[in-house]
Structure 1
């Protein structure tokens, strides 16, 4: 029994005294997840000439993967000096009881923004403020990151915390 009592401190000393070489430095990440979200903005005009749609290429400076999630937000105004953004698709109700929607689609490296409405919608009733000088921010997030946290993509401020 005395031998066991002598071995316990020796064993404890061996456990605390073990030290090896330091490993390579790790990467800073969010909750153990290493990612880089990216974004860019475009200000565009929707006109009958372009069939109320505009396409543009994702900048070549953005590293894009097939699995990345593409989100688009529309700048709707400012409050207290801060921009207010809404996630697309966004439905807008007009003063005359109509409705239309800002929407988007994308393939690997192109994004198309467009205005759509029901077959009864008269696009000639769109106000200049609804068509011209519309600013959109496209956000690219790695899908592995989005799946690893509980990210509310409708909350622009929360999404932008994860974008460079």
Structure 2
């Protein structure tokens, strides 16, 4: 049985993330989606809110489970008995960055194998940071995130638009 782990901050989950989850679940016997704490980011949503949004978006997929984790992804990988680490890549810059992370993960534990899944071209420009910025500036992200995610973002960010 092959267990894959897909970790990310998912703040918020986008349709690009959902696409990677669905495709990974179709490839591997078991997929663990981990809401990880990224120390370089100030999250808008709590870890539990992010898990709830993921469950609402793709919780019907039988071989997918959801968790939160702090610390190194490698430690979560070992603790969960994973065989493969999934990383989505949108472009060359993502690939360069993710290749560095994959190298460090393998340095930390030689058993960590990383599989890069290219983003579906329709999601190549989508990022959680960009989604939040568009909402802050009064734009629409309809079709880029689940409706529930858009509603939460609108409620939390619509009044944070900078003054001119």
* Higher share of residues assigned helix: 2
- Shorter chain as denominator, the TM-score bin is under 0.3
* Higher share of residues assigned strand: 1
**TM-score with structure 2 setting the length:** 0.23
Structure with bigger RCO (C-alpha 8 Å, 6+ apart): 1
Higher alpha-carbon Rg? 1
